[in-house]
């Protein structure tokens, strides 16, 4: 199946990205506020750059099958930034040159990366909510819980659409997934101003 091919082709990049996104620190409860801010930055920069182009570049048929509007995550990231009183840099959106937007297959390959990043969201949110370093900030982790109890269903629906791509178009999907993973791994965080401090105990 195509999703297995993409998973195999991007395994090394996935491991690199997990290190950049402090997955180990998230899971062992040692993530700092500054590291959490970095994670938000990388996710924001990525979604700001590609989300509109990917989601609205799909054919109408696939947009409808995926209920694409319900998969938009940028507003959730902006709510997370608001919670930490952090201002994000903005710039005009331009077509991202690092990914292929010419076919449904290539676009779905890139969306695989975004949807896959969401897949562990509920587990990550649960860990963050028990992190003693983050508790004083009373954060809600909107991005990580963007699908709520629909997470499993959303992933299953996406895989059904992805795996229906004809084999002749698999390479385009795989190539785009690799490109987006590489972009995220090399993303520099945007400049932010943080004024939030935890209350004194």
Mean pLDDT, all residues of the chain: 89
pLDDT in tens, 98-130: 899 999 999 999 999 999 999 989 899 999 999
Domains of the chain: 2-186 (1.20.910.10)
Instruction: Show Cβ contacts of residue 8 under 8 Å, excluding neighbours closer than 6 positions.
Output: none
- Does this model's pTM top 0.85? yes
- φ, ψ dihedrals at 86, nearest 5°: -115, 130
* CA gap 158, 147 in Å, rounded: 13
């Amino acid at each position: 199946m195509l999703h297995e091919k993409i998973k195999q082709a991007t395994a090394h990049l996935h491991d690199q990205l997990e290190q950049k996104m402090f997955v180990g620190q998230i899971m062992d409860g040692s993530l700092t506020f500054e590291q959490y801010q970095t994670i938000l930055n990388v996710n924001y920069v990525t979604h700001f750059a590609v989300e509109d182009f990917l989601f609205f570049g799909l054919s109408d048929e696939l947009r409808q099958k995926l209920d694409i509007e319900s998969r938009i995550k940028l507003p959730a990231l902006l709510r997370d930034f608001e919670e930490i009183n952090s201002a994000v840099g903005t710039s005009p959106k331009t077509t991202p040159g690092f990914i292929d937007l010419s076919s449904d297959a290539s676009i779905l390959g890139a969306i695989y990366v975004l949807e896959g990043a969401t897949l562990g969201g509920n587990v990550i949110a649960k860990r963050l909510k028990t992190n003693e370093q983050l508790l004083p900030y009373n954060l809600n982790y909107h991005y990580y819980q963007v699908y709520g109890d629909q997470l499993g269903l959303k992933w299953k629906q996406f895989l059904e659409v992805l795996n229906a791509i004809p084999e002749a178009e698999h390479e385009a999907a795989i190539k785009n997934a690799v490109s987006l993973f590489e972009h995220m791994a090399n993303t520099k965080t945007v400049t932010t101003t943080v004024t939030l401090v935890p209350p004194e105990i």
